[in-house]
Amino acid sequence: MKVGIIGAGQLGRMLALAGYPLGIEPLFLDRTADTPGGQVGPIITGDFADSAKAIELAERVDIVTFDWENVPSATLAQLPAHKVRPCARALEISQDRVSEKALFRALGIPTPDFAEVDSRADLERAVAAIGLPAVLKTRRLGYDGKGQAVLRKAADIEPGWRKLAGNPLVLEAFVPFEREVSLIGVRGTDGAIAFYPLTENVHTGGILRYSRAPYRSPALQRLAERHVRRVLGNLEYVGVLALEFFVVRGRLLANEMAPRVHNSGHWTIEGAATSQFENHLRAICGFELGATRARGPCAMINFIGNLPQLAGALHEPDLHFHDYGKSPRPGRKLGHCTLLAPSATSRDARLTRLLRKFRREGAEL
């Protein structure tokens, strides 16, 4: 089985590494060969807007999938729909914060208040309706905190507008959340669905810094599963999908979805019976889904900006290191580690100690 992966970042790299043992051969498409994925598998180099390259990819593989959801619609439209998993519609909806939230609302999934902003007048009206603080975001191509301005007070409106004007925007209510959690679900070609345990995520500056799993709340797990099940069903989705939520007074507000494997699921490589990467491949290749239960308490720490010393990290018991093969740059995700612990208490103690250690070594955490 040959799987084409559009985008050869770390997600593609981990998909390829999960695929080899199953006999699945990857083929990447990305702008340059020296990418995390291109280092571990064959690659076609080309721009994502170059439909001819995407068509070539599709012709050389059995199934096309994505490590990046912002593939231009014009390119998606050129691909044979039966080979594309998840479907182009899932990608297109997730590319636009307004369509995404409109879908959530249509499916009865609560979201923070939001309003489209296409002009300075729209912004005034939106602020009046939603109140401050609020977050002004580009509708498209925002990730890891990019394309956002927090409007805390009236005086922030004008600078926020100047920063982002020229793009279609959305104003979202600033949610005083207690925590952020995400649920990763996977749906097979036969409609079978499996969910991983909820993961608790800590972001700073819009970038995921660390996660802990399982986040044990049977009530929130049930609620999140109900929400994600609706999205998966509505989109006739095939593959892994992640939905991020704010937890506010015991309620879940959907923040955004990712139609792909997700950073908050990296702990599943060592921490779950089947990793999110293997389950995504199982789903898109038409195989049965693997068990999603956690092997025990886990934590995942992103390495941002620079990698800690490998030797020091390997000194830690049951710590699993993942280097994405990227060159260091501020704000860039260069790798992660997952730690497994016998209890949630020992996991949390080790997590605290490791965060301190990696910060001392220069990681942005």
Which residues in this chain contact a copy of itself in the complex, by CB under 8 A?
Answer: 13, 17, 20-23, 25, 39-41, 273, 282, 286-288, 290-291, 295, 307, 310-311, 314-315, 317-318, 320-323, 325, 335, 340
Nearest approach in angstroms of CB 10 to a copy of itself is 10
Closer CB to a copy of itself, 133 or 325, in the complex: 325
Nearest distance, CB of residue 271 and a copy of itself, angstroms: 11
Nearer to a copy of itself, 112 or 308 (CB): 308
Residue 296 · residue 40 · CB < 8 Å: no
- On whether the CB atoms of residues 57 and 43 are closer than 8 A, the answer is no
Radius of gyration of the chain (CA): 20
Which is closer to a copy of itself, CB of 219 or CB of 311? 311
Q: How far apart are CA 284 and CA 65, in angstroms?
A: 8
CB of 113 to a copy of itself, least distance (A): 42
Q: Both tokens of residue 253?
A: 């507000």
Of 11 and 134, the one with the shorter C-beta distance to a copy of itself is 11
Phi-psi region of 53 (alpha: psi -120 to 50; beta: other; left: phi over 0): alpha
CA atoms within 13 A on the CB side of 267: 31
Judged by beta carbon, residue 93 or residue 240, the one nearer a copy of itself is: 240
| Distance of closest approach, residue 302 Cβ to a copy of itself, in angstroms | 14
Helices (H), the chain: 10-19, 51-60, 73-78, 88-94, 97-106, 120-130, 157-164, 218-234, 268-271, 276-284, 310-314, 344-360
Residues counted in the chain = 365
CB of 353 to a copy of itself, least distance (A): 17
Of 51 and 306, which has the nearer Cβ to a copy of itself? 306
Least distance to a copy of itself, CB of residue 322, Å: 5
